[in-house]
Structure 1
Amino acid sequence: MTSSHKTALIIGSGIGGLSLGIRLQALGFHTTILERLDQPGGRAYQKRTPDGYIFDMGPTVITVPHFIEELFALERGAGMLGEPDYPPHTLADDARVREGESGGPRTRDYVTLVPILPFYRIWFDDGTYFDYDGDPESTRRQIGALAPEDLAGYERFHADAKAIFERGFLELGYTHFGDVGSMLRVVPDLMRLDAVRTLFGFTSKYFTSSKMRQVFSFETLLVGGNPLSVPAIYAMIHFVEKTWGIHYAMGGTGALVRAFVRKFEELGGTIEYGRGVEEILVTDGGGRPVRFPVGKRVATGVRLEDGTVRHADIVVSNGDWANTYLKRVPAAARLVNNDLRVKAARQSMSLLVIYFGFRKDGSDLNLRHHNIILGPRYEALLTEIFGKKVLGQDFSQYLHIPTLTDPGLAPEGHHAAYTLVPVPHNASGLDWAVEGPKLVERVYAFLEERGYIPNLRGRLTHSEFITPDYFEGTLDSYLGNAFGPEPVLIQSAFFRPHNRSEDVGNLYMVGAGAQPGGGTPSVMMSAKMTARLIADDFGIHPEVRDGVPEVVGAAD
């Protein structure tokens, strides 16, 4: 039996919001995405400049293309049926796509994905580098050249990280930890795998070389985590990348965002721009606004910044978790996610990101699509950023040069690039109007003087940057954090914000601030987890009739 039409409002059109919008349309909801900015993407916003450059302003690393293929394969009324969470046939060591196109058959209808090799060129302060490509033989060869004393340790690390990947990602990756029991059931396994100690402490068991310790722990910085404090379960990132590779959407991540918008609209969804949400409307279950923290609380819609009221059966926030509750849910309705809890949560670090274009000079850059340039200090620098919240005298950076793969992002004869420097969030009290330009100049001088991009300042044709103030203002992120709550142990699994609100019925979360966490694949996983919770709450269940998948109790 089909129920009456059900409606959904999603606040924000980041990758998580778009992924969930596609899934809700497939479940039969009538979904509207409300986006505060003038185009989709959220943190994955793409900027086009008058002088011909195209810059992805946020995420640039794409992995697990199966998650993308799965979204493009969805159809209205088919729900989430026939979808293995992970494609078993790609788990073999020799199955990863290394050349040509890497998207599945439905993905190719919307966007072109290509593999990137190496995944990263990791530069050390002494000028040596490690090409991290996930290939065990290449990895062994490079360890033998840089730190032969760690070859045996790598074999042990490889085996133990694989065990964490199999349990923590393949078996538990889509688990929504909604109660304490769900968390307690997995603690013994995590303890057995030594997955609760810090990631840096975990890697230090296997590697004595500081270079190898950095190579096998830096990746959590790309999802907002400090390697010195995130749990070792994040060692699974090594195997996520090794198994499915690193990929790039031709045209930039913005091309993937536009493809998701197209799929969402093809399924009947609606997206509106310039529609910031001022308040999530909550009643006591009888239609009266909540004024006291008692009784049943239900989300019934939103009030936009222009005063317009929009009602729906469910409301989902793809915005910043902290500001969703602090700014948009009435305080009287928040017993769990109250001001004390939200403000006490540890937020991820922020970023200074420089977007620049420069002339080619006829010589080849000794750089790759993705470059990690590590400074002279690792542990001390991380402590300054995450703990002391100060700017150090040195820095590390992620330098992204997509025009090595996709020349169309820049005018002919030029490169488009961005370089990302981890910095403290705005609890630091730093004045970014002063510190931002000074740090930009230091970064340019470093890239030029150390020979990464010779004569860079003389070749610059475009330069702009963002600071934590952009994350706090434009993206409405609490304290200007760049990745949501910091993924430390006490903010993971059950202790990470829940995808189904504990405070308000029919209110859900999706994206980096919810389970399982930050990073492009994780926010797509978050969308599937949230969709499953909504389907369960609304009695939408899978059924196959005459070999054709349908959803029983579909929202329309």
Structure 2
Amino acid sequence: MAKAVVIGSGIGGIAAAIRLAVKGYKVTVLEANASFGGKMTQFTLPGGYRFDAGPSLFTLPHLVDELFSLAGRTPQDHFRYQRLPIVTQYFWPDGTRLTAHASAQEFAQEVERKLGVPQQQLQQHLQKVARLYHATAHTFLHKSLHKLDTYLSADVLKTLPALPELGLTTTMHAANARAFTDPRLVQLLDRYATYNGSDPYQAPGTLNLIPHLEFNIGAFYPEGGIYAIAESLVKLGEELGVTFRYREPVQEILTQGSRATGVRTAQGVYEAETVVSNMDVVPTYRKLLPHQPAPETTLRQPRSSSALIYYWGMARQFPELDLHNIFFSQDYKREFEHIFRKETVADDPTVYVNITSKYTPSDAPDGHENWFVMVNVPHNSGQDWEALIQKTRESVLRKVSQALGVDLAPLITAERVWDPKGIEADTSSFAGALYGSSSNNRMAAFLRHPNFSGKLKGLYFVGGSVHPGGGIPLCLLSAKIATDLVPAASATVTA
């Protein structure tokens, strides 16, 4: 059988392994950590609190279902999820509270009730976003931006008329501020820049398509939490014959002439016709391909933001909170200036709280909740993270306690922290940036590394640091794009 090696078992690597196995390859996945998942791991804290360590939002679930279908399985027999009736609970410093219902119509009605924005105005905005998404997604998200075939496909005929409305020449914030006058709604829409680690005051207006995923398609929750995505897909991969080897970091990608021929680890050499790197593209070149010319323009693109995450076991339940909750800062522009220009954390950061025990009660003891508390922060560039962890913790407790009218500090019974240095060490994400490079300029999408090597045949790239970007859906799409470029193996896997 033709052989393939996948470096890293993040969600992109797992998906690539499954797709290659279906194409007839004998696949080996090599993972430096003790288990699979990359950022999509889980852990428990004393007292019976379970946490998903990284990603917490799940959209476009059909991309997971597709992997089971490709393997001849019925997706619902192996992986189940439900659509959320409420996407997010929003809290503003002025005391405004808003429930973002999953239905675009209900969301627009709530915005009219709470913010005074005519519901028809928001509904028309979301309809426009849906139209532009459907006109452009197959060109910009489902195919390589670095292949001529993409621009010669029929999908481009749908994309071209939509280009003038995409906001390529303006920023997210400028576009949102033109569309709506209420600063709270503008802030709510601006926050979608953080879904790929960017700044709404710099990122192009094209990112305003992101809300379509939540309000026109839906946000979802997998049975058992986000970790269940990786867990179910690894099981599928194993059923297809994929071998997962843990605690075995790759030391070098082997080459001969202009072709990748396999990889080397401390345990030996794995020869392969196809090598797929799910490792961040920067350490892939710097550590695994030190003797090959690197695409410096790409590797030196500005990094995305990172995260400072507090995992708290809370000795109380909060019925006013849901799975996803946002506590906004007073001055959003100042917050992003601190992240991307000053490379630090503002005194009044926006706080995201994810509570999976709302949907999986066993994730916390009776009467308790498991709080995943996240603040967007800069990537690691040598900051004093110990000081920032303490300072930000105080800001978060002060802010959320005031919003809920409860002193939260005495309720914390268990705690763990993940900062950019830890994220970098645990996941090989360069500088702890969650999404590789940021999207803070109009050419950012085209400057992302392609899903294939232009120098070495047989070498491909998946994951959040390459096209089309970070987050669960885009990582799954990166695996599809990359493996579609891989020729079918001569042997066939029996599903």
TM-score by length of 1: 0.83
The alpha carbon displacement at 1:153 in A equals: 4.1
Map 1:474-493; keep pairs closer than 5 Å.
474-493=426-445
| Secondary structure of 2:94 counterpart | coil
Aligned counterparts of 2:355 and 2:183: Cα–Cα separation in 1: 27
The alpha carbon displacement at 1:161 in A equals: 1.3
Equivalent in the alignment of 1:438? 391
Equivalent in the alignment of 2:368? 414
| Secondary structure of 1:420 counterpart | strand
| Secondary structure of 1:43 counterpart | coil
| Aligned equivalent of 2:337, options 361, 373, 383 | 383
Could you tell which deviates more after superposition, 175-184 or 32-41? 175-184
Structure 1 runs not aligned, ≥5 long: 79-104, 285-296, 541-551
Equivalent in the alignment of 2:272? 312
Aligned counterparts of 1:493 and 1:181: Cα–Cα separation in 2: 17
Could you tell which deviates more after superposition, 459-468 or 186-195? 186-195
User: For residues 360-408 of structure 1, what are the alpha-carbon distances to aligned partners after superposition, in whole Å with 9 as ceiling and x for unaligned?
Assistant: 26xx431111011111111221122122212211101211011111111
Aligned partner letter, 1:470: G
Aligned counterparts of 1:233 and 1:555: Cα–Cα separation in 2: 41
| Aligned equivalent of 1:147, options 106, 112, 115 | 115
| Aligned equivalent of 1:39, options 11, 35, 38 | 35
Map 1:143-542; keep pairs closer than 5 Å.
143-149=111-117, 151=119, 153-170=121-138, 172-179=140-147, 182=150, 188-189=160-161, 191-196=163-168, 197-284=170-257, 297-304=258-265, 306=266, 308-331=268-291, 333-334=292-293, 337-338=294-295, 340-360=296-316, 364-427=318-381, 429-451=382-404, 454-534=406-486, 538=487, 540=488
Judge conservation of contact 2:435–2:464 (CA < 8 Å) in 1: yes
Aligned counterparts of 1:169 and 1:360: Cα–Cα separation in 2: 43
| Secondary structure of 1:347 counterpart | coil
The alpha carbon displacement at 1:532 in A equals: 0.5
Map 1:87-106; keep pairs closer than 5 Å.
106=74
Aligned counterparts of 1:343 and 1:497: Cα–Cα separation in 2: 8
Aligned counterparts of 1:222 and 1:195: Cα–Cα separation in 2: 18
The alpha carbon displacement at 1:490 in A equals: 4.8
Judge conservation of contact 1:220–1:227 (CA < 8 Å) in 2: yes
The 3 A distance-change label for structure 1 pair 200 and 150 is: farther
| Secondary structure of 1:175 counterpart | coil
The alpha carbon displacement at 1:41 in A equals: 0.6
Judge conservation of contact 2:203–2:442 (CA < 8 Å) in 1: no
Aligned counterparts of 2:378 and 2:322: Cα–Cα separation in 1: 27
The alpha carbon displacement at 1:171 in A equals: 5.3
The alpha carbon displacement at 1:462 in A equals: 0.6
Equivalent in the alignment of 1:60? 56
Judge conservation of contact 2:451–2:462 (CA < 8 Å) in 1: yes
The alpha carbon displacement at 1:277 in A equals: 1.4
Judge conservation of contact 1:43–1:57 (CA < 8 Å) in 2: yes
Judge conservation of contact 1:64–1:244 (CA < 8 Å) in 2: yes
Aligned partner letter, 2:453: S
TM-score by length of 2: 0.92
Aligned counterparts of 1:255 and 1:149: Cα–Cα separation in 2: 39
The alpha carbon displacement at 1:489 in A equals: 4.0
User: For residues 328-357 of structure 1, what are the alpha-carbon distances to aligned partners after superposition, in whole Å with 9 as ceiling and x for unaligned?
Assistant: 1124x22xx33x324521110111000110
Judge conservation of contact 1:121–1:370 (CA < 8 Å) in 2: yes
Q: How many residues align?
A: 488
User: For residues 295-320 of structure 1, what are the alpha-carbon distances to aligned partners after superposition, in whole Å with 9 as ceiling and x for unaligned?
Assistant: xx21111122x363222111111111
Equivalent in the alignment of 1:127? 95
| Secondary structure of 2:469 counterpart | coil
The alpha carbon displacement at 1:57 in A equals: 0.7
User: For residues 198-251 of structure 1, what are the alpha-carbon distances to aligned partners after superposition, in whole Å with 9 as ceiling and x for unaligned?
Assistant: 222221221111111122221231221222222222222222222331111122
Equivalent in the alignment of 1:7? 3
CA RMSD of aligned residues (A): 2.3
The alpha carbon displacement at 1:149 in A equals: 4.9
Q: Which one has a bigger Cα radius of gyration? A: 1
| Secondary structure of 2:365 counterpart | coil
Equivalent in the alignment of 1:548? none
Could you tell which deviates more after superposition, 483-492 or 47-56? 483-492
Judge conservation of contact 2:434–2:470 (CA < 8 Å) in 1: no
Aligned counterparts of 2:391 and 2:268: Cα–Cα separation in 1: 42
The 3 A distance-change label for structure 1 pair 181 and 217 is: farther
